[in-house]
Chains A and B, each alone.
Chain A
């Protein structure tokens, strides 16, 4: 393999990894604060992707601009899901909570996916922007504009979330609740409002990831569970409890997948994520950026 094609593979790994990072961040946020694992996160991502697709199809809106529509829609979906389903689980304790969240969100995965097939048909949809196919050429390595933009948005989102969590009042309330919900409640934080806000924020992050996925890969109702899986692997890699660590961990997964996929053949590329998952559990169960418990 020439240096150039290796570099190209590496760069594409970074691009893909940025999306993995954003897809995982929403899940990590919900997991870190509500201590629930939302298997339906990928389905929220899929819904976000459809919001982008319809904005593009109906109004010719640029997919990156349509985030302004997709994010509020998914924020509302997140609020609704929290009110109807998840707030019943968040009251449970410990193992019972995580187990029930797994079961319920797995059921929800099926519901949302089949509703999407019913509403949007099972066809794969793509968004073709005018500047697709064009890009920068840097020392023989192609950097398509859509992917550069996607990576940029992923990065900006990570920084914005970091600012929100560490520098603003509601953000600090979220982190405080993640740390110790009883102490947070004693300090006067309305933790149920925090849970609701966090879940809706997680759904909004899924909307961003869904838009990026739609622009770069296209979308169909069945993609949800695949992205849930990527997000779960990234979370384990980053370390459960590390929210912002999802971004570098996502990039790492993207790069490792891309480079090793070039060696073992792309049809076996999916296996790598699973191997990484198992290796991390055996060698470093607290993850790369997680705190030692």
Chain B
């Protein structure tokens, strides 16, 4: 009679293939669901979710992976929107305007990042907050009039096409975050997040890694802004610079899970669906509710939904060593 130990996991392997299945299912839903329903409102909500995935994921690349807290993500978003809108409405092909908008955001990111990243502490956060607010005030003073699409552009307006662009961008941003985590750069970036001094001591070029994360982050945030400029028929040019965009990015990332790939995706879906409900029923204080929710998550449960899922998985997946007797 031999005794052997078997590790029983087979029963609950559902937890292992669920993520992959979830990704495929999510993409299929994203592609086909709005087309099946085909309502203005559905297209809009799906568009908003994709826009916010991009926004949240771009913040996550910087804050979640590289550990650099930006409080001015609205600056990158706004610059992308401003540049793309101006170029596009003055006759530049959209694709080019879109790209230039993203690059303009990177340029501003570098202007703030290069001097502030050399110093530790809160300088980068202050700098980004500063650039966002200064741009918001300056833009609202110099471009006080609402920006509207021209007649022919409105006539040719096609929301589904804009949605699929947003979907593509959300997938591209998350894909870029995934590739970044798989690249050799990821070790340096994560090391900078964990302990800057130790990273420096082991030969990681701290500034270069921070700037890499910042350029990726600001590029995608700028593209998200360009997408906003492409989708909105009319808006005040200073609107995309509102600190609310920064807050949305923070909240989405924290709801989902800071520093995880899935976090901003889950967070954005949750955030937009809940916001659409709250904004209808509690117009005035839904921002207060989100603000309190955000504070609670940061203080009490900083891991977000991804962490909750991991804990759940751990409870069910604890490997039970069972003794099996064989004759």
Give per-residue flags for B189-201: 1 if the beta carbon is below 8 A from chain A beta carbons, else 0: 0000000100000
In chain A, residues 200-227, which have Cβ atoms closer than 8 Å to a Cβ of chain B?
Answer: 225-226
Determine whether the beta carbon of B126 is less than 8 Å from that of A236. yes
Measured CA separation A106–B130 after assembly (Å):
13
Tell yes or no: A187 within 8 A of B by CB. no
Separation in Å of the B288 CB from the closest CB of chain A?
A: 5
With a cutoff of 8 Å between Cβ atoms, the chain B residues found around residue A100 in the complex are: 298-299
Give per-residue flags for A40-82: 1 if the beta carbon is below 8 A from chain B beta carbons, else 0: 0000000000000000000000000000000000000000000
Tell yes or no: B92 within 8 A of A by CB. no
The verdict on A107 contacting B247 (CB below 8 Å), with A37-B122, A270-B134, A281-B119 known, is yes
Tell yes or no: A146 within 8 A of B by CB. no
Measured CA separation A108–B121 after assembly (Å):
20
Tell yes or no: A268 within 8 A of B by CB. yes
Tell yes or no: A169 within 8 A of B by CB. no
Measured CA separation A166–B284 after assembly (Å):
46
With a cutoff of 8 Å between Cβ atoms, the chain A residues found around residue B250 in the complex are: 103, 106-107
> Interface residues of B: mostly helix, strand, loop or mixed?
helix
Determine whether the beta carbon of A107 is less than 8 Å from that of B294. yes
Determine whether the beta carbon of B291 is less than 8 Å from that of A107. yes
- Pick the contact of A226: B133, B141, B142, B288 (CB < 8 A): B133
Determine whether the beta carbon of B142 is less than 8 Å from that of A110. no
With a cutoff of 8 Å between Cβ atoms, the chain A residues found around residue B244 in the complex are: 110
With a cutoff of 8 Å between Cβ atoms, the chain A residues found around residue B123 in the complex are: 236, 281
Determine whether the beta carbon of B288 is less than 8 Å from that of A99. no
With a cutoff of 8 Å between Cβ atoms, the chain A residues found around residue B299 in the complex are: 85, 88-89, 100, 104
Tell yes or no: B115 within 8 A of A by CB. yes
Determine whether the beta carbon of B287 is less than 8 Å from that of A98. no
Tell yes or no: A118 within 8 A of B by CB. yes
Determine whether the beta carbon of B130 is less than 8 Å from that of A117. no
Size bin of chain B's contact surface? 35 or more
Determine whether the beta carbon of B298 is less than 8 Å from that of A104. yes
With a cutoff of 8 Å between Cβ atoms, the chain A residues found around residue B119 in the complex are: 281, 285
Determine whether the beta carbon of A114 is less than 8 Å from that of B285. yes
Most buried by B among A106, A270, A285: A106
Tell yes or no: B61 within 8 A of A by CB. no
Determine whether the beta carbon of A110 is less than 8 Å from that of B247. yes
Determine whether the beta carbon of A106 is less than 8 Å from that of B288. no
Tell yes or no: B44 within 8 A of A by CB. no
Measured CA separation A102–B123 after assembly (Å):
11
The verdict on A106 contacting B137 (CB below 8 Å), with A233-B130, A274-B130, A281-B115 known, is no
Measured CA separation A282–B243 after assembly (Å):
26
With a cutoff of 8 Å between Cβ atoms, the chain B residues found around residue A229 in the complex are: 129-130, 133-134
The verdict on A107 contacting B295 (CB below 8 Å), with A102-B125, A114-B288, A281-B115 known, is yes
Measured CA separation A225–B115 after assembly (Å):
23
Determine whether the beta carbon of A39 is less than 8 Å from that of B137. no
In chain B, residues 213-258, which have Cβ atoms closer than 8 Å to a Cβ of chain A?
Answer: 243-244, 246-247, 250-251, 254
In chain A, residues 222-268, which have Cβ atoms closer than 8 Å to a Cβ of chain B?
Answer: 225-226, 228-229, 232-233, 236, 240, 267-268
Chain B positions within 8 Å of A, measured between CB atoms, are 67, 69, 71, 111-112, 115-116, 118-123, 125-127, 129-131, 133-134, 137-138, 141-142, 196, 243-244, 246-247, 250-251, 254, 284-285, 287-288, 290-292, 294-295, 298-299
Known: A107-B247, A270-B133. 7 other contacts (CB 8 A): A85-B299, A102-B122, A103-B254, A232-B129, A274-B130, A278-B115, A281-B119
Smallest CB-CB A-B distances: 8 pairs: A111-B291, A110-B291, A267-B141, A107-B294, A114-B287, A107-B295, A281-B115, A274-B134
